[in-house]
Amino acid sequence: MTHIRLGREHLARLDTASQLEWLVTNGIGGYAAGTVGGALTRRYHGLLIAALQPPVKRTLMLAKLAERACVLGEWVDLDLNHWSGGVSSPLGHLHLESFQLEGGVPVWTWAIGSTRLEKRVWMEQGQNTTYVQYRHAAGPEPVTLSLRALVDYRDHHQVTSGGQWMATIEPVTDGLCVRAYEGAAPLWLFADGAEARPACIWYRNFSLALEAERGLPDRDDHLLAGEFTRVLAPGEAFTLVASARHDAGRGVLALAGALHRRRAHEHALLEAHERALGRRAKECPDWIRRLVLAADQFVVERASGGEDSLRGTPGAPRGILAGYPWFSE
């Protein structure tokens, strides 16, 4: 399949990098979405919007990872934020060499001198679990990567005012467990091999330009729950897992197969499409195949309980979402 790709001519422009959006989904109503530059411009942007009662009760749990990298002893911000008052900082989109879709998986490549860092984001089908994988793709020296996890706990239609709650953040094996308040579903953050340092600091006044255009409240706050630091050797990759499940990403083999499972799911969809077309499959243009993958994002399994009630249940009832990010079935 031909990949969709954007280069520096688009990504270096602040307006373009903040307007073009990406979306990945999990087949039960949960999703992750954002802009190609990394800035939050909607209340619906985040790395884990979990469907706690599939396909509804969609709850923002992880807003973003504020990334920076230390290359040859110098720290470089890779993140992009828009703040109230019209300030944009840092301007990490200026280091983006490319953004592309590998099937339905978004891929960012940052260029810092001769060093190339890649990032991929995808979700586990049928689970409220997001994977964010970083890879040291090129360069002669190790790179130290810092990821600051900005979390939340709200309906995806709302915005947050910092101080409404103060989370309990506890170290666990390979990561952190974040509970916004008593009775809230915990967020599990796992990053095998990384140093995890808890924090509890509100980042205030993210400016959401697309909410302002809609005439809705356009200021949002998120809680810094911790920082993950990991040294990457040339060619090495590691994955941060954000999940509403305590057993997500456990085990090296399970984690190593996560991207393979996503690609296998997409491959199965395209194979079914080709079987349906029969002889005409060879004449099918690539943009039709991309639409097949896009259409699958709107098909969801439904359950009256949480996502666990779907596991091991063949023929679970299905629905079609009317659209992202606002609509339900």
Taking only the tens place, the pLDDT of each residue in 47-98 is: 999 999 999 999 999 999 999 999 999 999 999 999 999 999 999 999 999 9
Could you give the count of Cα atoms lying within 13 Å of 91 in the half-sphere of its Cβ? 8
95-114 pLDDT, tens digit per residue, is 999 999 999 999 999 999 99
Concatenating the DSSP letter of every residue in 118-147 gives: EEEEEE-TTSSEEEEEEEEEE-SS-EEEEE
The full set of domains in the chain, from first to last, is 4-320 (2.70.98)
The residues near 18 (Cβ < 8 Å, ≥ 6 apart) are 35, 37, 39, 41, 80, 82, 209
CB 119 within 8 A of CB 133: yes
Residue 303 has pLDDT above 80, yes or no: no
What pLDDT is recorded for position 312? 46
**What is residue 54's DSSP assignment?**
T
187-199 pLDDT per residue, tens: 999 998 999 999 9
Q: Select from 158, 228, 159 the least CA-distant residue to 199.
A: 228
* Closest to 20 (Cα-Cα) out of 121, 122, 133, 101: 101
Phi (first) and psi of residue 207, to 5 degrees = -100, 125
Least confident residue range of 12-21, 134-143, 182-191, 252-261: 252-261
Q: Are 33 and 324 in contact (CB under 8 A)?
A: yes
302 band by pLDDT with thresholds 50, 70 and 90: confident
Residue 271 exposure: Cα atoms within 13 Å on the Cβ side:
6
Exposed / middle / buried, residue 298 (Cβ in 10 Å: 0-12, 13-18, 19+): middle
pTM (whole model) above 0.85: yes
Q: What are phi and psi of 158, to 5 degrees?
A: -100, 180
Residue count (the chain):
329
What residues are paired with 133 via a beta bridge? 120, 239
Q: Rounded to whole angstroms, what are the CA distances from 109 to 89, 186, 272, 276?
A: 20, 31, 31, 36
Average pLDDT value for residue range 2-21: 92
Structure tokens at 42: 């909607």
Residue 249, pLDDT above cutoff 70: no
